Every structure is written in C-alpha cells, then in structure tokens.
Amino acid sequence: MNTIVLSEQFSLVNSWINELRNVEIQHDRMRFRRNMERIGEIAAFEISKTLEQKEIEIQTPLDTIKVKEIAVQPVITTILRAGVPLFEGILNYLDKADCGFVAAYRKHDANDYFSIKQDYLTCPNIEDRPLIVADPMLATGASLIEAIKDLLTHGKPTELHIVAAIASRQGVETIEKAYPDAKIWVGAIDESLTSKGYITPGLGDAGDLSYGEKLQR
C-alpha cells in the first residue's frame, strides 16, 4: 500500500489533528505549529522503518557491538512557507538529513482561478538518496507536482516519500497517478475540496495559521 493514513490506527496523532482543525484551538499559533511538527516527527519515525539499513560497528566504553543504522541519509524538502513546521518535525527525528526548499504560491486571476508560481528552489544532490517532500495540505496537488518536478532536476532519488497532515481524496489520487511509486504519509484524508481549492472540512489556511494572514498576490 502506497498511501498510509496515520490516523487510521487511533493514536495521539488523532488528537493533534483534531486540535489543528478546531477553530477554538487552532488560533494558538505556537500549538498549531507544534502539532504540525509532531505529525512530522511521527511521519519521520514511520518512514525510518522503511529506509534501507546498513550494519555498523560501534565502540561502547566496555566493548564493540554490531548494530543497524540508516544506510543512506535522506534529503528532506518542503514548500515555503506553510511546510516549515511539518518539515521541522521530520528533521527533528531524521536529524542527519540534508535539506532543500521550494517557494511556491497560488497566483489568483480576476476570476479567482489560480495557478502555482514557483520562484525559488535550493536543494542538495538527491541522486541515489531517499527524497522526502513535506507539504502540510495536499489540496489539488498542484504545488506538489510543480515542486517535485523541479526537485527531480537535482537527481534521481532511490525512493520518494510525501508527507502531508491533511489531504483531499482528489489530491491523493492526483499524486498517486503522477508518482505511482511514491509513498504518501498523510495524517488524514478529507473527501472534498471547495471551489477555491481548500480542503473541507480541512483546517483552513495552514500558512496563515502558522505565521499570520498573507496578502493575496
């Protein structure tokens, strides 16, 4: 199974997603960012179970021991700005990873249709390394498709992991179709999108809730 829904098996993740969604709690920005970060931490832990391992020998004060370690450190990337807390959570656990960043935003026209504008990308070499892309809200999937297309100009990863806190069913299907080999780690999947491309019930605007209301461009 390539799409893993973290809240399907009840755990603390459900409580964190509930708080992210709840209008009476989500305005507490520090808690909102921290809950996103915690979902990133759990996703990183789950991803770590799937990563290739190697055997290493370490020296304790008393003896040596052969143990398992991650064979190839991943590259963790995210889409600014909403992705930062989720990204931080993944990096808290996969703390030896390299990191890359993409900046993208929805550019609205007079009819309120939007296209994705990407104006910044910096990333280490991802050739033969696991690539993790963190995007908290997988709504239409347009931002992720654009970001991944550009990230893949930095090499061919051994595997692709996508992490989202909340996804729409349509967004998941779009990514599954575009990247059938990718593993999608998602907190919860909601059934609908609004006419403005917002996940519903969703949680609202993740970037605004983390960092303040943006001016529309």
Tell whether residue 137 is a contact of ligand URA (CB under 6 A): yes
Helix axes 29-48, 84-93, angle to 10 degrees: 40
Query: Helix and strand tally (H, E) in the chain?
Result: 6, 12
Task: Return the C-alpha torsion angle 43, 44, 50, 51, nearest 10.
Answer: 160
d(CA 19, CA 166): 13
Tell me the C-alpha distance between 37 and 141, whole Å. Answer: 21
Q: Which is nearer to ligand PRP, 71 or 178 (CB)?
A: 178
82 lies in the site for ligand URA, by CB under 6 A: yes
**One of 110, 207, 211, 217 touching ligand URA (CB under 6 A):** 207
Judged by CB under 6 A, the stretch of 26-34, 114-122, 125-133, 195-203 that binds ligand URA is 195-203
Residue 29 backbone class (left: φ over 0; alpha: ψ -120 to 50; beta: rest): alpha
Give the contact letters, 41-80, x = binds to ligand PRP (CB under 6 A), - = no: --------------------------------------xx
* CB distance 106 to 116 below 8 Å: yes
Question: Could you tell me which stretch among 7-15, 16-24, 134-142, 152-160 binds ligand PRP (CB under 6 A)?
Answer: 134-142
Residues that bind ligand URA (CB under 6 A): 82, 137, 139, 198-199, 202, 205-207
Residues that bind ligand PRP (CB under 6 A): 79-83, 105, 116, 135-143, 171, 197, 205-207, 214
